[in-house]
């Protein structure tokens, strides 16, 4: 894919101010991203995304093939076929629908197809629940997808556009999941600023351009895409004599992701004036903090608010929002937390019989430090339960007490659950 030219910054007054919910913000981003194929099946709280996009199709506002399939398994399968043929493809789902895609998630990643997937985070059953936690996203963490999490609807719009550029980068060529919290973001009205269509087109470099490869027996350069004139094999039988080496290609591609995410975050900042930390982690007051809370998703706004309140009272507290969960930023986390006394890791999901998934990752990141912060895992918000400021402040005060005593009585705690 050719690099987009440097585009002059679009000042806020030249961007369109709109009141939309998070799902609509994603739909508008997809509308502007020159997507060739959208295949989807409705599921709460994602339905608004593809419902809104289907209106764009019906009104002739986009030149996109919209495929209303019979299941989420088929939705991702259709995206795999489209992306393998060189198309820019998008889908959206949540929770049980995402779980039905399980088989195809791995296929999309293993075939190195830069599909963009909006995951509107929702609890997995049972009992059936339509509200937010991160169990669906945590479940796909080992599938080979890049996973980005947003804090608000403006970031949902921005990150969806960025995701196409990240996944399609020649150094990456991997699918990208953009995660937004169900109902907290998906159904909540928010003012966002949208770029003109032509600016987004230029930022993405136009329609998707498949990467080139050399086909040895022909001795000529061809697109990596299904083409009867230049036959290629996608996903053939791959036994133990080559499978391991092909997995190494995915591993190497993942190593390239942080550099590309940072670069796209900076390019977006130059274009819009908006950036999200370094694209990977978004921090507040970590530099001199004794206590830091890490968090993923929309709850970051509440944590930041409480941290500022406690800072004003003289407490040395900070926060880290993890924006990129896969590939996990081990080195960056270690560098930020190496001098912190106590870290509280908030997880909106649980690995039953273990700890929260991000706690396990952060514990791993800090393992090699000779002097490590003490760690506490706070599992919170399961099934959409709110995380009000009083609960976050309670967690900070507990962590500050641990910083004084050096004693962790409970490593795994449950924040906001009724006794």
Over residues 239-296, the pLDDT tens digits come to 999 999 999 999 999 999 999 999 999 999 999 999 999 999 999 999 999 999 999 9
**Residue 313 and residue 346 in contact, taking contact as beta carbons nearer than 8 Å:** no
Q: Is the pLDDT of residue 197 over 80?
A: yes
pLDDT, residue 213, reads 74
B/e letters for 379-396, b = 16+ CB within 10 Å, e = fewer, are bbbbbbbebeeebbbebb
Over residues 132-151, the pLDDT tens digits come to 999 999 999 999 999 999 99
Q: Is the pLDDT of residue 302 over 90?
A: yes
pLDDT, residue 214, reads 61
Report how far residue 188's alpha carbon sits from residue 23's, in angstroms, rounded to the nearest whole number: 9
Q: Is the pLDDT of residue 14 over 50?
A: yes
356 and 308, same structural domain?
A: yes
Task: Give the mean pLDDT of 390-409.
Answer: 98
User: Residue 358's domain is classified under what CATH number?
Assistant: 3.40.50.920
Q: How many structural domains are present in the chain?
A: 2
Task: Give the mean pLDDT of 183-197.
Answer: 98
333 and 267, same structural domain?
A: no
Over residues 61-91, the pLDDT tens digits come to 999 999 999 999 999 999 999 999 999 999 9
pLDDT, residue 97, reads 98
286 and 161, same structural domain?
A: no
Answer whether residue 246 is part of any domain: no
256 and 337, same structural domain?
A: no
Answer whether residue 219 is part of any domain: no
Name 254's Cβ contacts closer than 8 Å, sequence gap at least 6.
144, 146, 174, 326, 327
Provide the H-helix boundaries in 68-176.
72-84, 95-100, 102-110, 135-139, 153-168
258 and 148, same structural domain?
A: yes
Answer whether residue 196 is part of any domain: yes
Answer whether residue 242 is part of any domain: no
Cα 45 from chain centroid (whole Å): 17
Give first-to-last CA distance, the chain, whole Å: 55
pLDDT grade, residue 215 (50/70/90)? low
**CA distances, 310 to each of 218, 225, 322, 379 (Å):** 67, 54, 21, 22
Task: Give the mean pLDDT of 103-123.
Answer: 98
Q: Which range of residues forms the domain containing residue 338?
A: 281-415
Over residues 331-349, the pLDDT tens digits come to 999 999 999 999 999 999 9
SS3 125: coil
Answer whether residue 87 is part of any domain: yes
Answer whether residue 4 is part of any domain: no
**For the chain, what percent of residues have pLDDT higher than 90?**
92
pLDDT, residue 217, reads 58
301 and 359, same structural domain?
A: yes
pLDDT grade, residue 1 (50/70/90)? very low
Task: Give the mean pLDDT of 39-50.
Answer: 97
**Residue 32 and residue 203 in contact, taking contact as beta carbons nearer than 8 Å:** no
């Amino acid at each position: 894919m050719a690099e987009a030219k440097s585009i002059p910054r679009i000042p806020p007054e030249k961007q369109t101010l709109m009141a939309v919910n998070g799902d609509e913000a994603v739909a508008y981003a997809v509308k502007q991203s020159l997507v060739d194929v959208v295949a989807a099946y409705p599921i709460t709280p994602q339905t608004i995304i593809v419902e809104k996009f289907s209106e764009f199709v019906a009104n002739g506002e986009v030149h996109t093939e919209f495929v209303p399939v019979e299941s989420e398994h088929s939705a991702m399968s259709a995206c795999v076929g489209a992306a393998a043929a060189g198309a820019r493809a998008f889908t959206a789902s949540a929770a049980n629908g995402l779980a039905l895609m399980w088989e195809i998630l791995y296929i999309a990643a293993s075939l190195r197809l830069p599909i963009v997937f909006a995951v509107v985070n929702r609890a997995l059953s049972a009992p059936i629940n339509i509200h937010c936690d991160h169990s669906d996203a945590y479940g796909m963490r080992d599938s080979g997808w890049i996973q980005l999490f947003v804090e608000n609807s403006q970031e949902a719009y921005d990150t969806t556009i960025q995701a196409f550029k990240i996944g399609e980068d020649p150094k990456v060529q991997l699918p990208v999941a953009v995660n937004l919290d169900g109902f907290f973001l998906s159904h909540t009205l928010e003012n966002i600023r949208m770029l003109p269509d032509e600016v987004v087109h230029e930022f993405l470099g136009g329609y998707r351009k498949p990467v080139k490869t050399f086909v040895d027996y022909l001795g000529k350069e061809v697109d990596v895409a299904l083409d009867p004139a230049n036959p290629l094999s996608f996903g053939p039988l791959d036994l133990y004599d080559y499978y391991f080496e092909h997995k190494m290609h995915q591993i190497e591609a993942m190593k390239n992701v942080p550099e590309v995410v940072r670069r796209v975050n900076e390019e977006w900042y130059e274009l819009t004036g908006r950036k999200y930390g370094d694209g990977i982690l978004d921090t507040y007051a970590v530099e001199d903090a004794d206590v830091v809370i890490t968090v993923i998703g929309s709850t970051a706004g509440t944590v930041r608010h409480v941290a500022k309140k406690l800072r004003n009272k003289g407490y040395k507290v900070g926060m880290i929002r993890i924006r990129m969960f896969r590939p996990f930023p081990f080195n960056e986390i270690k560098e930020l937390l190496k001098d912190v006394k106590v870290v509280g890791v908030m997880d909106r999901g649980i690995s039953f019989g273990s700890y929260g998934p991000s706690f396990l990752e952060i514990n791993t990141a800090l393992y090699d430090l000779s002097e490590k912060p003490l760690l506490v895992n706070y599992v919170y918000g399961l099934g959409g339960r709110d995380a009000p400021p009083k609960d976050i402040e309670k967690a900070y005060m507990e962590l500050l007490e641990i910083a004084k005593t050096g004693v962790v009585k409970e490593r795994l705690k449950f924040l906001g659950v009724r006794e």
